Structure 1
Amino acid sequence: MKRKLYMLATDLDGTLVGDKAALQRLLHYYNESFQDISLVYITGRHLNSALSLIASEELPTPDILITDLGTAIYRSPMLKRDKDWQQQMRINWQPDEILKLSGDFPSLKKQALPNTDRISFTVNNDYEVVQKFEARLNAKNIPHKLVYSSNRDVDILPENSGKGNALIYVLNNFACKEVQVLVAGDSGNDLEMLSLGYPSVVVGNAQPELANIKNHSKLFKATQNYAAGIQEAWAHFYETNETESIL
């Protein structure tokens, strides 16, 4: 991976995945390109769920798989968990206390997950209760990061996790210094990584919560949906470079 000069760092559901024809066109586009592109998948799914999606959608095996909203990182070729990142995620993490406090908010419905690397709930379009819950977490001085997305998903993560921090860790530790990256997402849980300042794309079918994302000089808002939006952005940022290299 350190030898690859380009990287696609993308969310899965609603971004890379969602339109099979567009996905196949994007994969063909990359296969035909002279650019050597590493793939980093960054998803809210847990490991087994992510692997199931990769298989069902016939996605290429990624160089790096980031799951559970950035709380776990797996490296190819065997997709073994990165132990250093795992240790970082355990610092000040108090899942039992978080669950105990959540009991005071019956509208928060706990999601069934295979571990407590993160604590996740669903709520029926009630941001007020999310704010009250976070206020209680802060009042109890419980270190955490709260991510609210799609008007229903409430994720409580270790304080130094998140899709953005996980991507920074990958870039610093596993990518070449000159790597040219495109970050792609569609929902609020992608906001952190889309705001890092790297070339980034909000795909055309993005959730309304990204409508007011703060612009930066390398943020591209695609008109095309799903993988077609990624391809549109890749051409915007990197086709010129490719043409110049050929010439």
Structure 2
Amino acid sequence: MSAEQPKPLVTDLDGTLIPLAEEPANAADLETLRRKLELHRGEIAFATGRHFDSVLRAIDEFQLPTPKWIVCDVGTAVYLSSDDGSFVLAESYRRELLRITEGRDVQSLRSELLRLNPELSLQEEPKQREFKLSFYVDPSRMPAVVGRIHEQLTRLAAPFEIISSLDPWQPRGLIDVIPRGASKASAVTWYAQETKIALEQVVYAGDSGNDLAALVAGCRAILVGNAAPELIAEVQQRHLEADWQERLYVADGKATSGVLEGCYWFGMFPQ
């Protein structure tokens, strides 16, 4: 697609890189992707709503390629690989989030938001992080609740915003309250600036609402075949408005297969 080989591949995990149980081709395509990355010395990174320990478990459980860096907790933490194979928290990115929040603890909003929004239920404690307050909600109620929380955060003058998406594994909505401006997109942009990689050379693969900001940040974007039609339409419209040419690929294949398909289309490596 492009004369200049893109790098790196940044991918969401659940619903995107991780194989779906009902898609038998996914497992084989994951192995193909791993071999292609090794053969062509490709760089892969993960951008996920999972917390760090959950990412490490997923790498082991699904035999995922080893990432060079990991964006966790919906863009509120970045971990960089070190020479010994371990990962270290990127303190400079953390300091940026502390600056945005002016030191205000997002967890301090927990009781007030639960009181004002009885439809919410708190996610498990390991999913509550330094810069992320997370809830479950009935999907049918999510648009109304998200709008209401947005108004409440504005009234409280809280330097936070909302990321919402659907759980790919269970019929429930996910709502995360995170620092204003923080997202998978802000983390990917930060890394590109730190490593002096042009953002348009980054390939980002995703499937859900919490990938939206990254899919329209200026990266080359892969939407896998199981992405919601509404998300596909919005990403297509945003790319059209930005006049980005050939920066979006909507895959036929679902999850892993769609990621591999998009990598071929963007010329990350030959078929």
Normalising by structure 1, report the TM-score. 0.88
Q: Structure 2 residue aligned with 1:138, among 114, 132, 154? A: 154
What are structure 2's unaligned runs of at least 5 residues?
A: 20-25, 167-171, 240-244
Task: Name the CA shift for 1:208/1:242 in 2 (closer, same or farther; >3 Å).
Answer: closer
| Structure 1 stretch displaced more, 113-122 or 182-191 | 113-122
Shift of 1:28: 2.3
Residues 1:43 and 2:48 are matched in the alignment: yes
Please give the alpha-carbon distance, in whole angstroms, between the structure 1 residues aligned to 2:48 and 2:8. Answer: 16
Residue in structure 2 matched with residue 15 of structure 1 by the alignment: 16
Structure 1 vs Structure 2: percent identity of aligned residues? 29
Q: Does the 8 Å contact 1:11/1:43 carry over to 2?
A: yes
Please give the alpha-carbon distance, in whole angstroms, between the structure 1 residues aligned to 2:155 and 2:15. Answer: 35
Q: Which 4+ runs in 1 deviate beyond 6 A?
A: none
| Structure 1 stretch displaced more, 91-100 or 72-81 | 91-100
Shift of 1:31: 3.0
Residues 1:106 and 2:90 are matched in the alignment: no
Alignment RMSD, CA only? 2.2
Residue in structure 2 matched with residue 207 of structure 1 by the alignment: 228
Secondary structure, in 3 states, of the residue corresponding to 1:184? strand
Q: Structure 1 residue aligned with 2:255, among 222, 226, 237? A: 226
| Structure 1 stretch displaced more, 77-86 or 210-219 | 210-219
Please give the alpha-carbon distance, in whole angstroms, between the structure 1 residues aligned to 2:13 and 2:153. Answer: 30
| Structure 1 stretch displaced more, 102-111 or 208-217 | 208-217
Secondary structure, in 3 states, of the residue corresponding to 2:233? coil
Please give the alpha-carbon distance, in whole angstroms, between the structure 1 residues aligned to 2:199 and 2:134. Answer: 36
Residue type at the aligned position of 1:139? R
Task: Name the CA shift for 1:235/1:131 in 2 (closer, same or farther; >3 Å).
Answer: same
Q: Does the 8 Å contact 2:200/2:218 carry over to 1?
A: no
Normalized per residue, the structure richer in helix is 2
Shift of 1:176: 4.1
Normalising by structure 2, report the TM-score. 0.81
Q: Does the 8 Å contact 1:10/1:184 carry over to 2?
A: yes
What are structure 1's unaligned runs of at least 5 residues?
A: none
> Cα deviation per residue 1:70-127 (whole Å; 9 max; x = unaligned)?
1000000221000111111223243144213212211111112333320000100212
Q: Structure 1 residue aligned with 2:58, among 53, 60, 67? A: 53
Secondary structure, in 3 states, of the residue corresponding to 1:142? coil
Residue type at the aligned position of 2:38? N
Task: Name the CA shift for 1:62/1:194 in 2 (closer, same or farther; >3 Å).
Answer: same
Shift of 1:6: 2.1
Residue in structure 2 matched with residue 95 of structure 1 by the alignment: 106
